[in-house]
């Protein structure tokens, strides 16, 4: 379970540029729950991701991941608990490393890392099996540099890397927004299949109202640093993308 209790984030506190980005966020994510997050620019969506990953520490409030109070933990300390895929396909992989070297690093997430794992035949078979799930032929290209892949292929590789080891929560930060519609649809299908197969607890930011309702079982809407709507069950099933768009005008 993930729990945020009265979490506040204030940038440039005490100055003329003070910006209260998150205003007392309260959110509980049950184990195995897949939540989509929507909201306009400046709503606080990415900051929500950043406080869960440890990239930003809150001024007030408590963050629990599993049984651990991680409120003051930095990103590196949280890495065994939190996996993340970013919007930019180039961020999640190292261009100058091969596919298998990237996967080796992901395999050792939260541990002392090295590249020697990529040379072991047993792990190569593990990597091939994971990549075959994508149906992109990457399992036959383990020696290729990640930089030689297309944006969609690199994002797919990032997704496999993020789910290579068990984590307490998977953060998807608009991970299909930079892709063309056809590739974005493929990545979302792979994402959904991985989440369901591994029963991953997931938080996904999206600007697509269709995605927000099609995937997961719960949708939260943010506005000016607050969660203003929490939609699930029959109420969520009755909504259309147009209904969500109308909420932005309220």
pLDDT tens figures, 107-156 = 887 665 455 544 567 888 999 999 998 889 999 999 999 999 999 999 99
Q: How much is the pTM?
A: 0.92
Give me the pLDDT at residue 249, please.
72
Residue 97: what are its φ and ψ, rounded to 5°? -100, 155
Task: State the pairing for strand pair 2-11/19-29.
Answer: antiparallel
β partners of residue 229: 221
For residue 19, what pLDDT is reported? 95
pLDDT for res 240? 96
Q: Which CATH number is associated with domain 2-92+155-247?
A: 3.40.50.300
The Cα-based distances of 139 to 46, 118, 136 in angstroms read 32, 13, 8
Residue-range domain boundaries for the chain = 2-92+155-247, 94-148
Say what the pLDDT of residue 86 is: 94
Comparing C-alpha atoms, which of 132, 143, 131 is closest to residue 101? 143
Low-confidence ranges of the chain (pLDDT < 50): 113, 117-118
Backbone angles phi, psi at 111, to 5 degrees: -125, 180
Give the model's pLDDT for residue 116.
Answer: 52
pLDDT (0 to 100) of residue 128: 93
Measured between alpha carbons, how far is 109 from 150 in angstroms, rounded to an integer? 24
What pLDDT is attached to residue 67?
Answer: 86
């Amino acid at each position: 379970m993930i729990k945020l209790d009265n979490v506040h984030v204030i940038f440039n506190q005490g100055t003329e540029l003070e910006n209260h980005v998150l205003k007392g966020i309260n959110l509980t994510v049950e184990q195995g729950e897949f939540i989509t997050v929507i909201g306009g620019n400046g709503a606080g969506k990415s900051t929500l991701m950043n406080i869960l990953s440890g990239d930003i520490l809150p001024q007030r409030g408590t963050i629990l991941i599993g049984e651990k109070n991680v409120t003051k933990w930095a990103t590196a300390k949280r890495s065994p608990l939190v996996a993340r895929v970013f919007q930019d396909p180039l961020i999640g992989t190292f261009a100058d490393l091969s596919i298998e070297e990237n996967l080796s690093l992901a395999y050792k997430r939260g541990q002392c890392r090295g590249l020697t794992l990529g040379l072991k035949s047993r792990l190569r078979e593990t990597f091939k099996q994971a990549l075959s799930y994508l149906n992109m032929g990457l399992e036959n290209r383990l020696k290729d540099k990640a930089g030689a892949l297309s944006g969609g292929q690199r994002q797919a590789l990032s997704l496999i890397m993020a789910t290579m080891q068990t984590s307490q929560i998977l953060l998807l930060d608009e991970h299909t927004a930079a892709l063309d519609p056809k590739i974005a649809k493929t990545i979302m299908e792979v994402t959904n299949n991985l989440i369901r197969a591994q029963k991953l607890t997931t938080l996904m930011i999206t600007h697509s109202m269709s995605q927000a309702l099609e995937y997961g079982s719960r949708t939260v809407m943010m506005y000016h640093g607050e969660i203003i709507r929490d939609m699930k069950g029959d109420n969520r099933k009755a909504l259309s993308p147009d209904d969500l768009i109308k909420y932005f005008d309220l």
